[in-house]
Structure 1
Amino acid sequence: MFGTFVSNMMIKPGQAPLFDHPQSFDLPFEDVEFSTEDGVTLRGWLIRGGADKVIVQSHFGVQCNRGGWTPKGHGPMPPWKQDIRFLRQAKYLMDQGHSVLMYDLRGHGDSDLGPIPWVSWGPEEAKDVIAAVDFVSARYPSANIGLLSICMGSAATTYAYGRDHGLAERQNIKAMIAVQPLLYSNFVKALGMPGFMVRAGEKVSTARMGFNMAEPNFVLDAPKITVPTLVVQNTNDPWTEMPMVQSYYDALTVDKEMRLIELEKSRFAAYEYLGARPERVMDWFDRHL
């Protein structure tokens, strides 16, 4: 019982129905879908700005989707009190002349489940990031691409650089922003659950996934990233360990910068910050695309 509850909390797909739409921001857009190397259909919005610079946005996991995060359905005490609407940064980027691909990772929003029908926290979702880059590359062959990768999106993107025939071979990618990269094992530890619940959840998740969720480590793939990378982290984030974020940053071998922002004591504060103050983060794309 405890094991199923914990595992569902951490890896169950379909916990985040789509709640926002580009029409709410009067954005020119196109509904799109594309397939991954293992045949998963992903769906999203292509916000149509300029044709020479395109941002691929990969959202965080489990309770999120291309549109962001909503407290609806998360009980009387959600970790954040208001909608986090990723279309705000998409509007900012479009106003700066960028097109933006906002898509649902497998098992999220309107995208299909993968062959492993659970959220893997990055290893499986890496295939989605590659497919997203290839989709916009086909649509805009001469465009420079920037990667806006948020939490699990950062992990998936980093794993995608470590894969054979992965992102390191896509020469049109010119910059990356990694927002609050987080290892699964660090997150579980930060939640402070009793050990028996953690072990019970790990047993169920291992049976579901076919591997121990605590073993994959995207930090090992960070040296394979080939583009200038900005790491963004709220110093008051209670759900991570700052040495882990520092180890990710230290492992990067490219032009890099770490921006530590002091926000309220919530991991979600940084996600809100992306849309509330996009100019404080997105200038990295202006510099490198």
Structure 2
Amino acid sequence: MFGKMVSDMMVKPGKSPVFETPTKFGLDYEDVSFKASDGVTLSGWLVKGGSDKVIVQSHFGVQCSRCGFTQEGKGIMKNALWTSDIHFLNHAKYLVDAGYSVLMYDMRNHGDSEHNGWVSWGLEERKDVVAALKFVSEHPVYVSANIGLLSICMGQGASTFAFGMEDMAQFKNLKTMISVQPLTYDYFVKALGLPNFLIEAGNRYNKSKRNITLNGDSFLPYVKDITVPTLVIQNSNDPMTNLDMVQQYYDALQVDKELLMLELEKKRGATYSWVGTNPTPILGWLNKYMD
């Protein structure tokens, strides 16, 4: 009973509706879909800006979709993450205004994409990152465009797994990544304050009933395989992480890099909201490597 409860909290899909569209923000877009290498169908928006540079956004996990986070239906996570809805279309708006197009897609088991199992905190979702990059790089409008990754929490875990486990060298125009708040599963679970017996029960249930193993270093061994300049963004007051782990991630990067340490409210979602309202450092980094 306890194991299923903990497992459901961490890996059960269906808590991430697409609750708004780019129309609300005055953005031109089209609905798109594409398949990952294992046949999973992914759903997204291609938000239209310039044709010479495009951002691929990969969102955070379980509680999120391509458009962000809504408090509705979130139960105990309603105020634990942030105090209001988080609108990723805010940063899509300033990216488009700056001449970027943006592919915003739902990873598997999120939003309107195919639900085929359980959230794996980036391991299986790495295939979705590759599929999104392939979709953009083969799109007739963007075939020659420079590409950047905006990878948020589990999205950056999926991106990091992809660099270590997939053929990312095929994407010749991939120029940079913004890694927003890297987080391994084990630290997140500990930060929730669950006693060890519940954590262990959840891990046993994941392994025996859902064929998922979530512990240890997760994506950290693959950070060394990242091949593009990377900006890491982290809230120093984030209560759901371990800053030594974030520093380990940063130190392992073997590319041009920068760590932007913010001092925000003591909630993890503060950084996700901040990204939508602070274009200067985001655009400064992207313009440096994508123009």
Structure 1 length normalisation: TM-score?
0.96
Show CA shifts across 1:139-182 (max 9, x none): 111000000000000000000001142x2332210010000010
Give yes or no for contact 1:43–1:104 (8 Å, CA) kept in 2. yes
Show CA shifts across 1:34-75 (max 9, x none): 000000000000001111000000000000000000111123
Q: State the match for 1:160 in structure 2.
A: 162
User: Distance between the aligned counterparts of 1:196 and 1:163, measured in 2?
Assistant: 32
Percent identity reads 55
Give yes or no for contact 1:118–1:208 (8 Å, CA) kept in 2. no
Structure 2 unaligned residues grouped into runs of 5+: none
User: Distance between the aligned counterparts of 1:224 and 1:209, measured in 2?
Assistant: 29
Aligned ranges for residues 223-242 of structure 1 at < 5 Å? 223-242=224-243
Q: State the match for 1:210 in structure 2.
A: 211
Paired amino acid for 1:85: H
Q: State the match for 1:13 in structure 2.
A: 13
More displaced 10-residue stretch of structure 1: 96-105 or 273-282: 273-282
Give yes or no for contact 2:137–2:171 (8 Å, CA) kept in 1. no
User: Distance between the aligned counterparts of 1:161 and 1:75, measured in 2?
Assistant: 35
Of 97, 103, 111, the residue aligned with 1:95 is 97
Aligned ranges for residues 69-148 of structure 1 at < 5 Å? 69-75=69-75, 78-79=79-80, 80-114=82-116, 117-139=117-139, 140-148=142-150
User: Distance between the aligned counterparts of 1:168 and 1:202, measured in 2?
Assistant: 34
Show CA shifts across 1:266-287 (max 9, x none): 0000000010112232321111
What is the number of equivalent residue pairs in this alignment? 286
Calculate the aligned-residue CA RMSD, in Å.
1.2
Paired amino acid for 1:138: E
The 3 A distance-change label for structure 1 pair 2 and 24 is same
User: Distance between the aligned counterparts of 1:24 and 1:108, measured in 2?
Assistant: 21
Please give the secondary structure, in 2, of the residue aligned with 1:281. Answer: helix
Deviation at 1:113, TM superposition (A): 2.0
Deviation at 1:206, TM superposition (A): 1.2
Paired amino acid for 2:185: Y
User: Distance between the aligned counterparts of 1:218 and 1:168, measured in 2?
Assistant: 18
Q: Would you identify which runs of 4 or more consecutive aligned residues in structure 1 move more than 6 Å?
A: none
Q: State the match for 1:58 in structure 2.
A: 58
User: Distance between the aligned counterparts of 1:177 and 1:203, measured in 2?
Assistant: 34
Show CA shifts across 1:237-288 (max 9, x none): 0000000000000000000000000001000000000101122323211110
User: Distance between the aligned counterparts of 2:147 and 2:160, measured in 1?
Assistant: 16
